A and B are shown apart, each in its own frame.
Chain A
Amino acid sequence: MIEIENITKRYGEVEVVSDVSFVVQPRTITVIVGTSGSGKTTLLRMINRLVEPTSGVIKLDGRDNRAVPAYELRRHIGYAIQGHGLFPHRTVAQNIATVPVLLGWEKDRIDARVNELLSLFQLDPATFGPRYPHELSGGQQQRVGVARALAAEPNVLLMDEPFGALDPVIRAKAQEDLLAIQKRFGTTIILVTHDMEEAIHLGNRIAVMDEGRLIQYATPAEILAKPATPFVETLIGTGDRPFRLLSLNEIREAVEPGTAEGEALPASATQRDALAELLWSGREALPVEADGKPIGRVTVEGLIRRAARPA
């Protein structure tokens, strides 16, 4: 659990973060969204003390984060940034091993962990371990950056616009990888982005920031249904709102009894994908299957009802 209590940061006269408080539940993904200059990155960097707050307290599992020296604290918090920040003079394996080496792990344990992480990120250890960062593609560099952040098995992972430099296709893949990894390790992730779409897709909860203030802290469904201010509404983009709402839920929950013609969609696909397929193919209904067995159908009418503003 991460408790952020009345955090304020001033640079001279300018207040970049103003009295922000919220609690991040363990094993969840919290996304901090805001425009540039909203103070979101500063807030993130105060959690691992790359920036020291002017006032307020941040507690990790009940302990003030100032209880240990800053470098000690950071070794136990994963940190991944935009543009990966890999060390250009070290190989991929050396980069990933950075924190375990700082923590004084045994060599065998480090090697095993590096190989495990490389495999997890679909990079062959024998091929990619000895390479230098500039020999990798952008997507590969980003994966190594996240692997390095996870190397010492941290409970908390901080990510500052980790996918900002990636093209849309690789970006979508990286987001899926992150969700899978979060599920596997149960890491508490706090991620900063300016992209509301990414926030809705990844976040269990979303913290919207504007001009240093926390405007709204809620689940994606709540943010979509009841944006706290016109600013939040602008961030969501009113035109995309119904589709974003549909993207939050699986087809499973929209299944109606009955059958339909055509190729079946898996129950785990999002309702947004189902609606898109229906509209594109000009049909009224599609069959849905789970584990290879038909379980019913989804209809345009049913999905449209679900896309309406919740009461």
Chain B
Amino acid sequence: MSGNRSRFDKLGVVIAAIAASGVFFAPFATFRANRIVPGEGRTILEALPLWAAATLLLVLALATMVALLRFPLSWRLGASIAALAALMLLIGLAANHLTPPENTYARVAPASGFWLLNFAFALLAADSLTRLRLGPMARIAVLALAALAVTAILYSGSWNGLSILKEYANRADSFWAEAAKHVTLALGSLAAAVVAGIPLGILCHRVPTLRDGVLNVLNIIQTIPSIALFGILIAPLGWIAVHVPGAAEIGIRGIGTAPAFVALFLYSLLPVVANTVVGLAGVPPAANDAARGVGMTARQRLFSIEFPLAFPVILTGIRIVLVQNIGLATIAALIGGGGFGVFVFQGIGQTAMDLVLLGAVPTVALAFAAAVILDAATEMTALNGGQAA
């Protein structure tokens, strides 16, 4: 990989182009006199004290050079981490530098240049990590380290000057309550879908006449837009709340958490059921025949042969559902279901983009972490099974 230094790395060219446009043609930070007026862009040189701006530009230039030329993978990974760390630490400094002393109305937010630079070097980091072919445990460890680094910066208070954390400071209590609701909605509906979907998938596999019907119905549900599905559920759930004794007491109502939970559950069913069916169908026929031939009962065959062999595929379905649910749960806020969507929709209502970000950024981070963890888990179960056969 380091053999031919005269040629440029292809991805490095793209990264350099993105980084250059982030430095020269886009503002690094946005300054606003208060939280709803339009902002004005500030370049790196305007947003930071001279020494910091110089340091940042130097780090970025060096990292871009490493990306552009064919340096060893460990260098590329190191350069991307250095660039990302510099960006993370200095955006906090920019906030303090741009905000006039004693002014609590002014807002400083990262601007497009900051995001472009982050994207460029995140790309470099992701590419290096992929090419290092890390095992599943190592990938989870990298994720944990990244999470730890962000937590450390948050605790240090160096980002407290940023607009998104000022919004957080005003809503610290409700933020964690909505976070808990969001996770409960996403994970709870997933758990319900797994409990209902896997047996349904097994049934569809065993009774072929059932399969097409069930999968078609679930497919149709999947195509209903989420807001429409929430709307459709209001009437039946409202009716149940009124007419079924005890239903209202356990929280079933036309609006609120119940319809959000039911809708997410319904969306989750298709990937779980479909992947269970596909996974079971993918069990080698010879293994199945041998399992019957050596005298396994239907139940032994299901639990010790079919299910373990289908499990990596089922886990892929669960990964799709979890990532999808974490995103979709945002919309639950529209019908009073809570979650990070509350901040997104409040923010849109007040034209306060920082508030929108307070809802959006944790949602994206959660979905990303869920994807990494479940991909690693899928790989581990597949490795263990020696699926290459």
Q: Are B294 and A132 in contact (CB under 8 A)?
A: no
A226 CB–B CB distance under 8 Å: no
Within 8 A of A (CB), among B277-303: 284, 286-287, 289-297, 300
B386 at the interface (CB under 8 A from A): yes
Determine whether A6 belongs to the interface, using a CB cutoff of 8 Å to chain B. no
Name the residue of chain A whose CB is nearest to the CB of B385.
Answer: A89
Residues of A within 8 A of B385 (CB): 88-89
Whether A134 lies near B290 (C-beta < 8 A) is no
Q: List 10 A-B contacts (CB under 8 A).
A: A50-B292, A73-B295, A75-B295, A81-B290, A81-B293, A85-B289, A88-B287, A88-B386, A145-B290, A149-B294
Q: In the complex the two chains form, what is the Cα distance from A240 to B297 in whole Å?
A: 46
State A241–B289 Cα separation when bound (angstroms).
36
Are B290 and A87 neighbours in the complex by a CB distance under 8 Å? Answer: yes
What is the 8 Å Cβ interface bit string for chain B, positions 370-389, against chain A (1 contact, 0 not)?
Answer: 00000000000000111111
Given contacts A85-B290, A88-B287, contact A134 B295 (CB under 8 A): no
Report the Cα distance A148→B291, complex, angstroms.
Answer: 11
Given contacts A89-B308, A102-B300, contact A132 B386 (CB under 8 A): yes
Residue of B nearest to A148 (CB): B294
**Can you name the residue of chain A whose Cβ is closest to the Cβ of B292?**
A50
Are B294 and A50 in contact, CB atoms less than 8 angstroms apart?
no
B245 CB to closest chain A CB (Å) equals 47
Min CB–CB distance B297 → chain A (angstroms): 5
**A98 CB–B CB distance under 8 Å:** yes
B309 interface hit (Cβ, 8 Å)? yes
Interfacial residues of chain B within 72-102, with CB under 8 A of chain A in the complex: none
Number of A residues near B (Cβ < 8 Å) is 29
Q: 9 shortest A-B CB distances, which residue pairs?
A: A85-B290, A132-B386, A75-B295, A134-B389, A79-B293, A74-B295, A89-B385, A85-B286, A88-B389
Number of A-B residue pairs at CB separation under 8 A: 75
Residues B384 and A79 in contact, CB atoms below 8 Å apart: no
Do A134 and B384 have beta carbons less than 8 Å apart?
no
Q: Which of chain B's residues 116-140 have a Cβ closer than 8 Å to chain A?
A: none
Report chain A residues within 8 Å CB of B290.
Answer: 79, 81, 84-87, 145, 148
In this assembly, does A99 line the interface, its C-beta being within 8 Å of a C-beta of chain B? yes
The CA of A99 and the CA of B296, in the complex, are separated in Å by 8
Interface residues on B, range: 20 to 34
CB-CB nearest in chain A for B384: A89
**Smallest CB-CB separation from A73: which chain B residue?**
B295
Once the chains bind, are A86 and B293 in contact (CB under 8 Å)? no
**Which of B286, B295, B384 makes the CB contact (< 8 A) with A71?**
B295
Q: A residues within 8 A CB of B286?
A: 81-85
A72–B287 alpha-carbon span in the complex (Å): 19
Interface residue? B305 (CB, 8 A): yes
A38 to B287, CA, bound (A): 24
A98 pairs with B294, CB closer than 8 A: yes
A135 to B308, CA, bound (A): 19
Give the complex CA separation of A145 and B309 in angstroms: 19
In the bound assembly, the distance between CA atoms of A48 and B309 in angstroms comes to: 25
- CB neighbours of A134 from chain B (8 A): 386-389
- By a CB distance below 8 angstroms, the chain B residues around A85 are 284, 286-287, 289-290, 293
Q: Is the CB of B305 within 8 A of A87?
A: yes
> Given the complex, which residues of B lie within 8 Å of A227, measured CB to CB?
none
Given A73-B295, A89-B384, A81 and B289 touching (CB < 8 A)?
Answer: yes
Q: For chain A residues 96-133, which have a beta carbon within 8 Å of chain B? A: 98-99, 102, 132-133
Which residues of A (244-290) have their CB < 8 Å from a CB of B? none
**Interchain CA distance A71-B292 in the complex, whole Å:** 7
Contact B295 A72 (CB under 8 A): yes
The answer to whether A133 touches B386 (Cβ under 8 A) is yes
Apart from the given pairs A50-B289, A87-B291, 8 other A-B contacts in the complex at a CB distance below 8 Å: A73-B295, A75-B295, A76-B295, A87-B287, A98-B294, A102-B295, A135-B386, A149-B294
